[in-house]
Amino acid sequence: MIKHIVMWTLVESDDKEDNLKKMKSLLEGLVGKIDEIVKLEVAIHPISSPEPLDIVLYSEFNSYDDLNAYATNPKHLKVVEFIKSVSDTRSAVDYEV
C-alpha cells in the first residue's frame, strides 16, 4: 500500500476560503473517476501543524504504478492546474506500508 500525503498553503486573497472549498471539492471529486484511488481524504485548516498549512490531502494506492497512473491522469492534471493557480507552497511525501 502506498500512502500519498500533500500539504499546501494558498495565496492570500479575498477568494482564499472559496479556493480552499473548490480545491477540496475538486480533489474529492476524483474518487470514482480515477480507478487507482483506494482512499482519499481532504482536510481544510488542519488542527495541528508545525508550520502554517491551509489544506492537506491524504490518499492511498495499491502500488507506485497506481500512484503514477493517478499523477498523470488527465482528470487529475486538470485539478492540478487549478491548484497551481491558487497555491503558494506545496509539500508532499509518499511511503510504502
Give the residue-averaged pLDDT of 60-72: 98
Give the residue-averaged pLDDT of 50-63: 92
Percent of the chain with pLDDT over 90: 92
Pairing mode, strands 87-96 and 55-61: unpaired
pLDDT at position 77 is 98
Cell of 92: 508532499
pLDDT at position 42 is 98
Q: What is the pLDDT of residues 5-22, one digit of tens each?
A: 999 999 999 999 999 999
Judged against a pLDDT cut of 90, whether residue 72 lies above it is answered with yes
Domains and CATH numbers, the chain: 2-96 (3.30.70.100)
pTM across the whole model = 0.94
Judged against a pLDDT cut of 90, whether residue 48 lies above it is answered with no
* Best CA proximity match to 86, nearest among 4, 23, 1: 23
Torsions phi, psi for 41 (to 5 deg): -135, 145
Torsions phi, psi for 90 (to 5 deg): -145, 135
